[in-house]
Structure 1
Amino acid sequence: MIEFFTAPAPNGWKVAIMLEECGLAYEPRWVNLAAGDQHTEEYLAINPNGRIPAIIDHAPGDGGEPVTVFESGAVLLYLGEKSGQFLPTDLRGMSRVRQWLFWQVGHLGPTLGQHGHFHLYAEEKLPYAIERFHRETLRVYAVMDRQLGQEEHIAGPDYTVADMACFPWVRTWKAQGVPLDEFPHVKRWYDTLKAREGLRRGVALGSDMRRQGEMSEEERRNLFGTGKAKLL
């Protein structure tokens, strides 16, 4: 069984999708980010970075002690190797998937995360920061659109962990104000993936737990490391 430490957010949805698609047995362990669960010593022993997601695999392939993995990209690779699914075994296929997975964790996710923060959550609206990350958001969408104009999926003809990594972030397009119709290949890919049952179950995990309403000062500090007038 896999303990899955997560919250209803894009990086958590990546791993939830993979677990559902692979059919691996898991138990969600909810990390209340607004309450500061991620900063506790107990959780930092699992994920030293104090973010989600993380897993503990109590039945690793070598039959040894439980294996703990943090960072969403590393978790996806671990689960792909464990299950033998959604991860190519040939040299070139594996290389393509790793490149696009690392692109997601290094570009798509951080860019949309910062854009979302300054555009949606920051109390002080800074035009430079909003415009800077909006332009970069459109740039990474253009990169993805060009790739999907050449391939059916992000890393080639097959659906892989690279697609699972990208989908939850693209899912935020409306809130982020992205003109999705201007990226027709991304839209085609996004609409196709939405029909996958495993993916739908993954992004639905914890949907009833998403916080609503205004944040308190304590919640803002726990989520963003900020005070009222101090930005991340």
Structure 2
Amino acid sequence: MSAELKSAAAADVPGRLRAASGLISGRLVFTTSFGIEDQLIAHHIFTQRLPIDVVTLDTGRLFPSTYTLWQETEERYGVRIRAFYPDAQAVAGMVADQGINGFYYSKDARLSCCEVRKVEPLKRALAGAAGWITGLRADQSGNRSAVRFADWDAGRGLLKVAPLFDHRRDDVASECTKLDVPINALHAEGYLSIGCAPCTRALQPGEPERAGRWWWETDEARECGLHVRADGKLVRNVAA
């Protein structure tokens, strides 16, 4: 990892994105779920016209408001956001085996659903990429507390960049308001972290930010598999 990329962690978010796009040789991919962090990152990518592929994973179970925001974002910035979808046969086989909402009944079933609807499409989205930009923040959960600006993702063989790694949620929300960035209407209803509709609920007073994701599970370090190793732990490798 270059010294220039390491030093870019001291820049502001637009500067971090410019550094990543200029210093990482090869295709650079930003995966957006249209959460508030991703919307701020997308704003800077689109307004700076950076050579970064912006893609999304359409699981087929997203909230209607997420699809509305997807349309609004494309119209606001004059872009098209490429979608990667789960394999239809894999979805059909999974539903035939565990039922349409079988993920409620066991963690293995839930992880299987995440694998089919998110993890496998991500592999296709990142195929051939040299760098992956994400909306991870260190204060999102205890499991993400060690997130830094740039990590080498050994499992995928690419650099993983988190330009908002040191931002608080309030910082992100303030920037979105200042820049008039479109955000999901569900954020105002207590949905701070938004994923698939069946697996996301609004937070109760005092709950941590990601408590509404897979809320029926007791494991506090709940993840879908996009950012974890085979042992379920967050990918934390050589960091900038």
Bigger RCO of structures 1 and 2 (CA < 8 A, at least 6 apart): 1
Report which of the two has the higher share of helix.
1
TM-score, normalising length: structure 2:
0.28
TM-score, normalising length: structure 1:
0.29
